Amino acid sequence: MNQKDIIVIGVFLATSIYIVWNVFFRGINKVYLHYYKYSVPYIIGGIVISISAIGIVCDIAIDITGGTFFFASFVAGFALFLLGESNLAKYTNNEEKYSYFKSETIRFVKYAVILFIIIAIKMARHY
């Protein structure tokens, strides 16, 4: 591992921590945590994002296999996160935010599905 790898890991880790801290912990609306259609996808999405970020850093640092899987899981975590936000917007009758978050959720789900299909094809070709 050289200096470039250490810088890449540091920047990625700092960005991931910033995203998880600012968006997830500060952005969570504690008033609506009782609304399970908001809180469950939001919290699970944050956990998936955190685990995937750690997996990506480990992939960069020690060159483990499965880095693309962690990236696809990172995208799927954001899709869950946005699903929680869209459910909250629907619950609070904010149609503009609901339509925005719903379209973003669908876009992230499409990306995640494409990435998982690519991973499956690569695994099938490998064996």
Q: What is the pLDDT of residues 51-90, one digit of tens each?
A: 887 787 777 777 666 677 888 888 888 888 888 888 888 8
- Extents of the domains making up the chain: 3-126
How far is CA 91 from each of CA 47, 94, 119, rounded to the nearest angstrom?
23, 8, 36
Closest among 81, 78, 52, 77 to 67, alpha carbons compared = 52
The span from the CA of 47 to the CA of 52, in Å, is 8
pLDDT of residue 19: 73
Helix (H, G, I), strand (E, B) or coil at 34: coil
Please state whether the predicted TM-score (pTM) of the whole model is above 0.75: no
Structure tokens at 41: 């996808």
Crossing angle of helices 36-62 and 3-18, in 10° steps, is: 170
Which residue is listed with tokens 């935010």? 97
- Across the chain, mean pLDDT equals 82
pLDDT of residue 64: 64
